[in-house]
């Protein structure tokens, strides 16, 4: 004797699974292209904080940043690209740069990175 159930089976079709896997693959490839630029930006932020604490004049700050850039493989900016402004007894250091990431064909992603040791953002002359 067969008993019929009113419940229906539910699941993901093969085409739905393939679609989801393609979307995840595209997002994964995008993430792999984006990760090195974010890592470099984070290293540059740490390098300006280190340079601010390790040096007391703008040339020393730039040289300290360049040493950190060599160690951390920072290629997008160098010490000469830093904006260094006197803030009372201390120095505020900032940088800003644009990174272009090619995606496919003529399409690319442009990211504007900027950081500062100033608590209010970008270092400005007073």
- Average pLDDT per run of 10 along the chain, which is 126 residues long? 65 87 91 92 95 90 95 94 90 94 89 89 52
Q: Name the one residue in this structure whose structure tokens are 């007894």.
A: 89
> Tokens 């340079």 appear where?
51
Looking at residue 11, its pLDDT comes to: 77
Count other Cβ atoms within 10 Å, centred on residue 92: 23
Closest by Cα among 31, 110, 40 to 69:
40
Q: Supply the pLDDT for residue 125.
A: 46
At residue 21, the pLDDT reads: 94
Phi, psi (5° rounding) for residue 32?
-65, -30
Q: What is the pLDDT of residue 5?
A: 61
> pTM of the predicted model, to two decimals?
0.77
The span from the CA of 14 to the CA of 20, in Å, is 10
Q: What is the pLDDT of residue 93?
A: 94
DSSP result, 45-109: HHHHHHHHHH-SSHHHHHHHHHHHHHHHT--S--GGG-EEEEETTEEEEEEEEEEEEEEETTEEE
Please give the pLDDT value at position 38: 94
Residue 121's pLDDT is 63
pLDDT at residue 6, as a whole number = 60
């Amino acid at each position: 004797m067969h008993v019929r159930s009113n419940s229906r089976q539910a699941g993901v079709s093969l085409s739905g699974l393939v679609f989801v896997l393609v979307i995840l693959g595209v997002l994964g490839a995008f993430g792999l292209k984006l990760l090195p630029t974010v890592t470099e930006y984070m290293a540059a932020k740490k390098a300006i904080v280190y340079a601010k604490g390790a040096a007391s004049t703008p040339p020393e700050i730039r040289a300290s940043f360049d040493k950190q850039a060599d160690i951390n493989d920072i290629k997008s900016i160098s010490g000469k690209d830093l904006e260094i402004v006197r803030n009372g007894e201390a120095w505020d250091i900032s940088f800003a740069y644009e990174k272009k990431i090619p995606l496919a064909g003529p399409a690319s992603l442009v990211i504007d990175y900027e950081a500062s040791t100033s608590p209010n953002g970008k270092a400005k002359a007073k």
